[in-house]
């Protein structure tokens, strides 16, 4: 019984080492002179990639061949198209983009659109543009 308890405790402690709280309000791009899109990696392991992305203008239509993406709008306003349906996105909106779904976004504000993007499994460069 003690052995099982020790194993469970060790597993719990090892998982908590990787846990973290991220204050997305205070994360900014390293430069403001990027042309259109700036991506900052926040966390990554074999199962996921987490990014904060700033979009000045537009992200062209594309899909991901091998992973699902979950996007939360952190600030700004945009027009998103997902599988042919267009809608407005605002701060605190969450968009689930299943693997293979064509999506794009256009910033509708004078400041860059800031989004949190979580991609699972780990992003491997599988962005396929459709135009």
Q: Which residue has the tokens 């966390």?
A: 43
The mean pLDDT of 118-124, rounded to a whole number, is: 94
Q: Is the pLDDT confidence value at 38 over 90?
A: yes
- pLDDT tens digits along 45-67: 999 999 999 999 999 999 999 99
Sorted by where each starts, the structural domains of the chain and their CATH numbers stand as 24-129 (2.60.120.10)
- Going from the C-alpha of 28 to that of each of 53, 76, 111, 113, the distances in angstroms are 10, 14, 13, 12
């Amino acid at each position: 019984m003690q052995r099982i308890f020790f194993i469970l405790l060790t597993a719990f402690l090892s998982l908590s080492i990787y846990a973290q709280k991220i204050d997305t309000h205070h994360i900014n791009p390293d430069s403001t002179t990027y042309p259109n899109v700036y991506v900052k990696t926040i966390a990554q392991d074999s199962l996921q990639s987490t990014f904060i992305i700033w979009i000045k203008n537009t992200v062209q239509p594309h899909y991901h061949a091998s992973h699902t993406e979950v996007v939360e709008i952190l600030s700004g306003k945009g027009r998103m198209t997902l599988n042919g349906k267009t809608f407005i996105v605002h701060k605190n909106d969450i968009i689930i983009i299943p693997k293979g779904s064509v999506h794009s976004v256009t910033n509708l504000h004078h400041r860059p659109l800031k989004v949190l993007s979580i991609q699972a499994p780990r992003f491997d460069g599988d962005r396929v543009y459709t135009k």
